[in-house]
Structure 1
Amino acid sequence: MTRTEYPWLLPSAMADPELPGDRGGRQRRTVRDWAVDITAFLCAAGIGLAVLAAIGADRTTPDAFVFLDSLVGGAACCALWVRRRWPVGLAVALTLLATVEPVAAGALLVALFSVAVHRPFRPVALVGAGALIATPVQPYLRPDPSTSFLTSTVVGVLLVLLVLSWGMVVRSRRQLVVTLRERARRAETEAGLRAEQAQRLAREDIAREMHDVLAHRLTLLSVHAGALEFRPDAPPAEVARAAGVIRDSAHEALQDLREIIGVLRSPRDGDGNRPQPTLATLDALVAESRAAGMEVTLDNVIDDPAAAPAAIGRTVYRIAQEGLTNARKHAPGAEVAVTVTGGPGRGITVEVRNPAPAEPFEQVPGSGQGLIGLTERATLAGGRLDHGPEPDGGFGVRAWLPWSS
């Protein structure tokens, strides 16, 4: 698995994922949003009332200024209802307003918190820097008689930093939740794709197995049924022999098909399945082809066929089976030579060759999928397979498969 295949694992994708509401715009408020907005309004109004009470306690402030402060503070608190749509603009406006109107300080803190939650670091840093720069202006223009200028400035700076830090922590937590949810969703999607791919590969393997198993049987049926059709005057012994081959081949084909369907229906149930073919069962395959009327010579120089790896032996068996099937289709009556050589450390070489047919005949149609499947089998096993016409007009299949020592 590489990062280019899964871009959501890149650090840039996880560093600052977009949250709902980051783009602003008109969004329908949920019940939770209404509760948060009302709470923010009440907090800003509470701070504003506390500041207004302190201003009213100062007898040097005219009542007209106190009344104006209350109106401006109420307007600032009401402006918080648009903080989700324009958080940066509202924070900048309240920062400028709070320099001359201390009652708007509560609304400013809520607006700064909203910017830290709904915007990335750069705009938060710019707005926060502006708020920190404007913090000493307010106590300078409208000082609190009960508090020194330094104390008011330090408290204001600490409140701004505290609100911004709290907002960025909330944003980081939300980003983490969004990232984990997105990763879980994509991991689930990826798992589904892997399952589909595994299922598709399994179906392809089963399709190849069905072709390898059934093509051999069905070719016997076709050849002998064609012989009966074109030689209705054949001796009774030959008719009976061909009918027996047809019956046995049909029975074997049905049995093989039944086993494959059984694997599809219950892949975990191995009861009743016949053993898979191996290199040791190659003699039985040749004997079966001879019983069907083919002339086959087998030259197997492997000292101990049973010692060959099961997968390699099964592949050799399938290659020989497909070669015999093709020879029976396209060169009936020709002598087929099957040669198996090699050993541990050298690998196994299997060759199936047949000369050109001696007489013209009606060929059984083929799709060529069998040789394609054999090439894939050999490649997956770490070997190679070549096939094609021979100089004498015949056809040959040659494969090499690895056999570790």
Structure 2
Amino acid sequence: MIETQKDLEKVVLVAVRTPDLTDAEVLEHLDELAFLAETAGAEPVKRFTQNLTMADKRTYVGSGKVEEIVDYLKVHEDVTGVIFDDELSPSQLKNLEGTIKRRVLDRTNLILDIFASRARTAHAKTQVELAQYQYLLPRLTRMWTHLERQRGGIGMRGPGEKEIETDRRIIRDIIAKLKKDLEKIDKQKATQRKNRGKMVRVALVGYTNVGKSTLMNALSKSEVFAENKLFATLDTTVRKVVIGNLPFLLADTVGFIRKLPHHLVESFKSTLDEVREADMLMHIVDISHPGFEQQIDVVNNTLREIDDREKPVIMVFNKVDAYNYIAKDEDDLTPVTKQNLTLDDLKKTWMAKDTPSIFISALEKTNFDEFKETLYQEVLKVHVTRFPYNDFLYPDVEEEDEE
């Protein structure tokens, strides 16, 4: 793989606002796209949006907006790329690059690039490489005709630079081999899961960058990599946790995101098996994020795609230390929004629901004793249901790590 350039690349971001999106939602999507770009090593310097009934089939945005982007790039020659907030078709990519004359990336390519830079183990690298090739296959003509002028940078990590792979048949052979490699790894992972015994399995799930790894570290006293960037965790990490006298297995999984590329879901299905095979889910939410409710919906929709079976869930609202609200003036007659709600107001709203909910700060260990007691009680419910005739006390359990 080509090393990441030391100097940040300057990029512009482009999004379409369709009738089903509000201005606030489009802004949130662009904020997230900017965070993705920064995670990949780029500096967003300009944003373009356009209101359309649906994205243009030829160029995603209309011809007038494309000209506006081109005019901006003529003045700002240091901008190296344009990133679009949706997956572009091969023809859209070809048309846009032919007009813009800069590197064009879509959201899928950007996420794949981040995964490529984050992959550490052979398992993660194989999964990412498979997803990259599956994405590139229908785009080979466009990618390979520009190799001489594309010398690295975001969106070009991984298999995209290998000139020897210009033939579609060769790429399909590589995809077939990677799938076989993954099958072998998947069988090994399945064997590992079977060997974990009969302990209750709890999977941490949630949107990317909500603090799952930080919570994992706090509960298991381990050192799972945690960082304030998107997709800090790719490989599933499993730890044995003991609360009181009750041991259980806790799995940290890859974070979800809206518009998660289909190729990644397919490639990472073995990693997501930890979610499928879990007895209980701990849904971690960043309560300080203004769009946390939309993030909850994204995670729930993704979970339904992975596994449609109903499982016990604990809602863990993390980062209470970072929560801010806007206090309304008594004379302000405008409707109250969630930005005007205090943390206590939100607690009352969620505590009234059937799903167990707890508000914490994994970083500051705020409300951690109550959180562990809630987790203990919920794991115990699952345990006595599955093993009604077994003693749930394990006084001699030793801690162990599995990755």
Which gives a bigger RCO, structure 1 or 2 (Cα 8 Å, sep 6+)?
2
Q: Do these two structures clear the TM 0.5 threshold for a shared fold by scoring above it?
A: no
Compare CA radii of gyration and give the structure with the larger one.
1
Q: TM-score, normalised by structure 1?
A: 0.21
Compute the TM-score of the two structures, normalised by the length of structure 2. Answer: 0.21
Whichever structure has more helix as a proportion of its residues is 1
